[in-house]
Structure 1
Amino acid sequence: MEEQKIWLSPPHMGGNELKYIHNAFDTNWISQFGPNINEFEKCLENYLGENSFVSAVSSGTAAIHLALKLLDIQSGDIVICQSFTFVASANPILYEKAIPVFVDSEPDTWNICPNALEDAIKHNIQKGKKPKAILTVSLYGMPYKVDEVLEISKKYEIPVIEDSAEALGSRYKNQLCGTFGDLSIVSFNGNKIITTSGGGVLISRTKEHKERAFYLATQAKEDKEYYSHSETGYNYRISNVSAGIGIGQMEVLNERIAQRRLNHEFYNDILAQFENIELSSEPNENFYSNYWLNTIQIKRSDKLSKEILKEKFSESNIETRYLWKPMHLQPLYKGCDFFGSNLSGIIFDKGLCLPSGTNLTDICKERILKVLNMVK
């Protein structure tokens, strides 16, 4: 009999979500308006703190697109984007027919390299095309080097869009991710640390930006008694049902972060015995990761590679996944400018994501350890 599958990062309900879903059905607020949406936004604003104005939308991708719209990114504008990320970080740049310029990672966090970032900015300024935005990512829950990036942002007066899709609850110098960018986003996709089934939020620094985001996310309908539209809008608002799931999930967020960090301690303890496997961890005390996913690099040999280890896990009905393939290596973005040394490509070549769900039991961990011992 096949053992039950261990998933990479499955949804994990807290128990109270149904209360808010039932309320949505009982009151017949089941579409893109309703009290759950307002309450969900308020929960996040309270969690993130001062100067965080939250707009709940249908996905993290939608939130990034709205961020670009709020910064008036237009056709032909240059947007600098971290290369080592999921494609949803970069695709909205193409929605606006803007030009993505990709920047490599640095080794401590795997996030955007400040030196390569400044090289990209200088290069484009010399060409007479100053970038309009910097899009940086906190990959797998690890904060990027915030101080260095914000210093560059301030020096060249280029706003930052902070993609914290994977980093809700992570901190840099005890400040929460999602509060550093001129605009920030979080994802609540089904595999994230908490979920709304599908959804995301745009986090603005001003009430005016929040109001503008709401307007664009609701088809840019003007405040009139009839349907009047002067510019292109989008159907990007989250549903009241999904927002109800989000309220229930916010109640267990701190518990979920603690559970993910315990998973990291488990991997840290067992992988200390493996000379050929390196676990990605916080570089110093300034970084506090939610460890959404635990990621490793494997020193390739005849006996071990990411492909071999992935297959071993698969044979034991355990899901693992390769790291995000950097954008500068994707066929979709062939020909785009790239700045760096291809460190992200090297990491991708050696890397694997390990099961990191908050419902990972001791029995699951024993099965994971058993597979690892096969390749020791």
Structure 2
Amino acid sequence: MNPKIWLSSPHMGGNEQAFVKEAFDTNWVAPLGPNVNGFEQDLTLFHGGKTHVAALSSGTAGLHLGLVLLGVVAGDEVICQSMTFSASANPIAYVGAIPVFVDSEEDTWNMSPTLLEEAIKDRIANGKKPKAIIPVHLYGMPAKMHEIMAVANRYDIPVLEDAAEALGSSINGKMCGTFGRIGILSFNGNKIITTSGGGALISDDESIVKEARFLATQARDEAPHYQHSKIGYNYRISNLCAGVGRGQMEVLAKRIEQRRAVYQQYVDRYSGAKGISFVAEPAGYFSNRWLSALMIDPAIAGFTREDLRLGLEKDNIESRPLWKPMHMQPIFSKYPYYGTGVSERLFENGLCLPSGSNLTQADMNRVFAIMDMFIKK
């Protein structure tokens, strides 16, 4: 059998081990430490120098803390993009709140600003104004944040921006994660850079980030003994994992360039093919192209998303359907949903292709050989 080609695997840059070794040499192997501070500083600089950062154990932890910091409590309603991974919605359940799911628009595959406003109006009419909005930048493509923020500001609802997949993506030079009151990043093993497991909460409001750090370290009050006035969480990243992150930050720009080059190869080869389409960057938008994805119209292409996925799988090549929308998930299907069927079509016909920055040209040629068996140019 041919060696495995992964959808998106970790890609080390070379200096990660040096930062981790320093942590071992200085015995900073517990949570917090110089690498955590350095990693937060690196992320601050990458986002323009004004954004404050709390490095955490996961992006999911960041979303949970974000909801807590925004004052969301049991019984509140939170609007969430339906087309996303479950980690965007699960923290709503952690705090006992009620998710209200909103469909995508066709241009970016992200939350529809029109349906967002429709949902807000309807929830208010039903006697419950949503406490927060969670848009997601799917596969690195920025959501329509200017329009989403205009709606959010019109109704005075804070935005908790899920940029877990969009580190380095931007709109007119403004980084994803910096539009809302709070932003979330992820450094999971499959992301554009990784800390093995990790994430971050970011905000232009320093007081929010300070409170996030406090809550993430068990909310320990200042005292010579252990004293707690609030419920806390064990959500800080370790000094070892942060060392990996510092090494990864050194190659982030290169990783974005490599991911975009992989995407461009797919577009150059299959753009215009019968029944095949890609999501393009709107004017002023810049996607890190974390994952390259295409849509297949089976009535025109003559094959389905699943046909291609299974064909790739036979050659030991990993691909994956687009996220199954949250309103279609058994655990969330009972909650309100505002949509027109866009996310259902994306799930039915979309496929994520191998996208890693460490793919070789030989790897790409293997993928192309299988895809060429299906796609008529």
**Shorter-chain TM-score tier:** over 0.9
List per-residue Cα deviations over 1:305-363 (Å, max 9, x = no partner): 11110111011111001111000000000210001112101110001100000011110
Shift of 1:146: 1.1
User: Which residue of 1 is the match for residue 364 of structure 2?
Assistant: 365
Q: Distance in 2 between matches of 1:93 and 1:273?
A: 41
1:57 maps to: 56
In the alignment, the residues of structure 1 paired with residue 53 and residue 191 of structure 2 have an alpha-carbon distance, to the nearest angstrom, of 18
State the AA in 2 paired with 1:165: A
Letter in 2 for 1:359: N
Report what 1:293 is aligned to: 291
- Cα distance, 1:303 vs structure 2: 4.5
2:190 aligned residue? 191
TM-score normalised to structure 2 length: 0.98
Which secondary structure does the structure 1 equivalent of 2:298 belong to?
coil
The reply to whether residue 257 of structure 1 matches residue 260 of structure 2 is no
The answer to whether the aligner puts 1:17 opposite 2:47 as a matched pair is no
- Count of aligned residue pairs for this structure pair: 374
What's the offset of the Cα at 1:86? 0.2
Query: Which residue matches 1:307?
Result: 306
Alignment of 1:226-375 (within 5 A): 226-272=225-271, 274-282=273-281, 284-301=282-299, 303-375=302-374
Q: Is the 8 A contact 1:186 1:202 kept in 2?
A: yes
State the shift of 1:30 in Å. Answer: 1.0
Give the whole-Å Cα distance in 2 for the aligned partners of 1:316 and 1:303.
Answer: 21
- The answer to whether the 8 A contact 1:138-1:144 is kept is yes
Per-residue deviation, 1:273: 5.1
| Alpha-carbon shift at residue 373 of structure 1 (Å) | 1.1
Superposed CA deviations along residues 39-68 of structure 1, whole A, max 9, x for unmatched, are: 000000011024311000000000000000
Partner of 1:204: 203
| 1:88-103 matches, cutoff 5 A | 88-103=87-102
Q: Which amino acid aligns with 1:53?
A: H
Q: C-alpha distance in 1, partners of 2:189/2:130?
A: 33
Q: Secondary structure at the match of 2:128?
A: coil
Amino acid at match of 1:117: L
Q: Which runs of 4+ in 1 moved over 3 A?
A: none
1:285 positional shift:
2.2
Give the corresponding residue for 2:28: 29
Identity of aligned residues (%): 52
What amino acid is aligned across from residue 186 of structure 2 in structure 1?
A: S
Alpha-carbon distance between aligned partners in 2 of 1:246 and 1:289, rounded to the nearest angstrom:
21
Q: Distance in 1 between matches of 2:123 and 2:283?
A: 35
* Matched position secondary structure for 1:137: coil
**CA distance, structure 2, for counterparts of residue 273 and residue 91 of structure 1:** 38
- On the 8 A contact 1:163/1:184 being kept in 2, the answer is yes
1:35 partner letter: P
Q: Which of 262-271 and 295-304 deviates more?
A: 295-304
* Distance in 2 of aligned mates of 1:300 and 1:193: 31
Hey, what's the Cα distance between the residues in 1 that align with 2:148 and 2:370? 40
Secondary structure of the 1:80 match is: strand
User: Conserved in 2, the CA contact under 8 Å of 1:267 and 1:279?
Assistant: no
Task: Please report how far the alpha carbon of residue 281 of structure 1 lies from its aligned counterpart in structure 2 after TM superposition.
Answer: 2.2
Q: Distance in 2 between matches of 1:108 and 1:273?
A: 17
C-alpha separation in 2, matches of 1:168 and 1:202: 12
Cα contact 1:271–1:279 (8 A) shared by 2: no
- Indicate the SS of the match to 1:349: helix
Structure-1-length-normalised TM-score: 0.98
User: Letter of the aligned partner of 1:13 in structure 2?
Assistant: M
Corresponding letter in the other structure for 1:297: M
- Over aligned residues, Cα RMSD in angstroms? 1.0
Matched residue type, 1:210: V
SS of 2:99 mapped into structure 1: strand
Gaps of 5+ in 1: none
Amino acid aligned to 1:206? D
Contact 1:56 1:237 in 2 (8 A): yes
**1:237-274 superposed Cα distances (whole Å, 9 cap, x missing partner):** 10000000000000000000000110111000111252
SS at match of 1:208: helix
Query: C-alpha separation between the residues in 1 aligned to 2:213 and 2:227?
Result: 16
Secondary structure of residue in 1 paired with 2:135: strand
Cα distance in 2, alignment partners of residues 174 and 32 from structure 1: 34
Distance 2:206 2:222 in 1: 18
* CA-to-aligned-CA distance 1:75-104 (integer Å, 9 cap, x gap): 111100000000000000000000100000
